Amino acid sequence: MKKVQVSTGKPLGRIVCPQCGNDREFIELARDVIVTTRYVQNDDGSFTPQESDSEVLGKVGLYCSQCDTDISFFHNHLMEMIF
């Protein structure tokens, strides 16, 4: 009998794109985002940003930056591994 490894959706180590094998560069995409930036106008008429806040209202996904494959099932692992 041949053993078959079943993916649990959570990687044990590094995230690897199942489509192209990329294990270095990924894109996090947030949908329906409200960005609020506060500015101060300088004496010469230019503006300097003071602070910025964002609120994500929609889905957040994770994609391979090489082949654009949706690998959102790895997103929790990404969040756990940001130091």
| Closest alpha carbon to 17 in 78, 65, 83, 82 | 65
pLDDT of residue 83: 84
Domain range annotation of the chain: 26-80
* Residuewise pLDDT in 10s, the chain (83 residues): 555 444 555 556 899 999 999 999 999 999 999 999 999 999 999 999 999 999 999 999 999 999 999 999 999 999 999 88
pLDDT of residue 5: 47
For 51, residues 6+ apart whose C-beta sits below 8 A from its C-beta are 37, 38
pLDDT of residue 82: 87
